[in-house]
Amino acid sequence: MDDHVVVLNGGVLHDLPLSSTLVPPSTAPWILFAFFLLTAVALWALFHSWQQKALPHSPVRDAAGGRPFLELVGGARILVNYSIPFARLRLWERGISLSAPGTTASLTWPEISRAVLIKPAVPIGSGVEFQAIGYGLPIIYWGRRAVCLEVLDICEQRGVPVDRKGRMRL
Q: Are residues 41 and 106 in the same domain?
A: no
Q: Are residues 86 and 165 in the same domain?
A: yes
At 64, the pLDDT band (50, 70, 90 cuts) reads low
Is 60 a domain residue? no
Number of domains in the chain: 2
* Angle 137-150-168 from CA coordinates, rounded to 5°: 45
Distance CA 151, CA 128 (A): 8
Q: Are residues 102 and 46 in the same domain?
A: no
Q: Are residues 43 and 84 in the same domain?
A: no
Nearest to 129 by CA among 84, 91, 169, 87: 169
Q: Are residues 74 and 151 in the same domain?
A: yes
Amino acid at 127: G
Is 121 a domain residue? yes
Is 59 a domain residue? no
Q: What is the pTM of this model?
A: 0.66
Q: Are residues 76 and 44 in the same domain?
A: no
Q: What are phi and psi of 149, to 5 degrees?
A: -65, -35
Q: Are residues 162 and 91 in the same domain?
A: yes
- Domain carrying residue 12: 4-54
Terminal alpha carbon distance of the chain:
56
Express each pLDDT in 67-122 by its tens digit. 888 888 988 887 666 677 888 888 888 888 888 887 788 888 888 889 999 888 77
